[in-house]
């Protein structure tokens, strides 16, 4: 079992060693003929859970793998320095030591993929994560609505990078998607990408506010063409956030972009992913559609706050055969 777990849960290096996405010149030929069949997409993801399942030590291994790909997030209005410090400690030590010892993983140096906070909390995260390799991700560009000027968005990105963020999660202007203003969307994202400099950029589409899968696909293409390192479903603040169906649409765009350019774009579902079983479904979808190469923190992340607690609870159940109370697995 130890060998299985180590193979699935090797320590993420957080080195962003994948080739950066330089983007493509704007051209609608890449996406103007896209027309997504909603019923076919829904049918594909509906059958996912029934066709694939992992059990026992294999499930434990996959769950440990999932932990390494969580952007452990706090984006609440009442966030304080104390909240962020606790979050960062949980990111560095995501699973109780007694559970890790039972899994023979106490020396695996398991951490989450990143810590994600608002701009003003970056200094606290930087303080708490000093000496670790865990990246700091900052939400930017008027998160979550994105209803500020482009100049303000650029300024906000630059300030977050200067403060210590190594990953920037931007939000697009949804009106540009709704009105099919693809060149304007491309120009906006490209300028944001330039402002990020060496920091990796995750572009949030807010898919719950995009009315059709076809427009989700076109927005995904524009975001990748403009230089996004990741495309991300949601802010977590919309009424509908990440779903397997919208994920299928977006990751098939990632696959097509890779086939065209040879560049691997990362994917981040966010919002509403709270249970270990959900995490497994997403990992299986990624494995089936993109392959094992994408099962790394450099190319796949969960945006989540409560998911880690349930994964830890499931791991304790695997070790002891009993479900423990939730308070034994606090998120932070």
Is residue 161 helix, strand or coil?
A: helix
237 is catalytic: no
268 is catalytic: yes
- Structure confidence by residue, pLDDT tens digits, 174-205: 999 999 999 999 999 999 999 999 999 999 99
Considering the candidates 153, 268, 281, 310, report the single residue annotated as catalytic.
268
169 is catalytic: yes
Write out residues in the chain with pLDDT < 50, as ranges: 1-2, 4-13, 16-17, 332
Q: Within a 13 Å sphere around the CA of 252, how many CA atoms are in the beta-carbon half?
A: 18
Residue 149, classified by CB atoms within 10 Å of its CB into exposed (0-12), middle (13-18) or buried (19+), is exposed
- Cross-strand partners of 116: 73, 137
Residue 102, classified by CB atoms within 10 Å of its CB into exposed (0-12), middle (13-18) or buried (19+), is middle
Distances (CA, A) of 220 to 31, 42, 138, 213: 9, 19, 21, 10
Distances (CA, A) of 219 to 115, 183, 186, 194, 283: 26, 11, 9, 19, 23
pLDDT of residue 326: 73
Considering the candidates 8, 218, 232, 264, report the single residue annotated as catalytic.
232
pLDDT of residue 331: 63
pLDDT of residue 8: 43
Residue ranges in 129-212 assigned as alpha helix (H): 150-163, 174-178, 182-196
pLDDT of residue 15: 52
pLDDT of residue 102: 96
- How far apart CA 292 and CA 141 sit, in angstroms, is 32
Considering the candidates 65, 71, 169, 310, report the single residue annotated as catalytic.
169
| Average pLDDT over the chain, rounded to an integer | 92
Residue 323, classified by CB atoms within 10 Å of its CB into exposed (0-12), middle (13-18) or buried (19+), is exposed
Rounded to the nearest 10 degrees, the angle between the axes of helix 244-261 and helix 276-289 is 30
């Amino acid at each position: 079992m130890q060998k299985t777990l180590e193979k699935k849960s090797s320590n993420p290096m957080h080195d962003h060693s994948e080739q950066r996405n330089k983007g493509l010149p704007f051209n609608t030929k890449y996406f103007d003929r896209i027309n997504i069949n909603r019923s076919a997409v829904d049918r594909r993801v509906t059958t996912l859970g029934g066709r694939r399942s992992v059990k026992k030590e294999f499930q434990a291994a996959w769950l440990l793998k999932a932990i390494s790909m969580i952007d452990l997030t706090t984006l609440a209005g009442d966030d304080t320095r104390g909240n962020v410090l606790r979050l960062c400690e949980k990111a560095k030590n995501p699973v109780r030591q007694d559970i890790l010892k039972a899994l023979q993983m106490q020396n695996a140096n398991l951490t989450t993929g990143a810590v994600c906070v608002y701009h003003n909390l970056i200094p606290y995260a930087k303080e708490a994560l000093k000496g670790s390799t865990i990246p700091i991700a900052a939400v930017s560009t008027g998160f979550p609505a994105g209803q500020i000027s482009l100049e303000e968005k650029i300024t906000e990105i630059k300030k977050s990078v200067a403060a210590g963020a190594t990953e920037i999660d931007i939000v697009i202007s949804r009106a540009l998607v709704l009105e099919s203003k693809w060149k304007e969307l491309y120009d906006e994202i490209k300028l944001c990408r330039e402002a990020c400099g060496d920091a990796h950029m995750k572009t949030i589409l807010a898919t719950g506010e995009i009315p059709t899968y076809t427009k989700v696909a076109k927005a995904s293409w524009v975001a990748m063409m403009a230089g996004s390192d990741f495309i991300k479903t949601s802010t977590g603040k919309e009424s509908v956030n990440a779903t397997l169906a919208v994920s299928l649409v977006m990751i098939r765009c990632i696959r097509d972009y890779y086939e065209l350019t040879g560049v691997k774009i990362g994917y981040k579902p966010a919002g509403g992913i709270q249970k270990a079983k959900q995490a497994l479904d997403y990992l299986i979808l990624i494995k089936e559609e993109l392959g094992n190469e994408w099962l790394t923190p450099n190319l796949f992340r969960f945006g989540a706050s409560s998911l880690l607690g349930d994964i830890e609870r499931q791991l304790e159940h695997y070790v002891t055969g009993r479900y423990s109370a939730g308070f034994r697995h606090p998120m932070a």
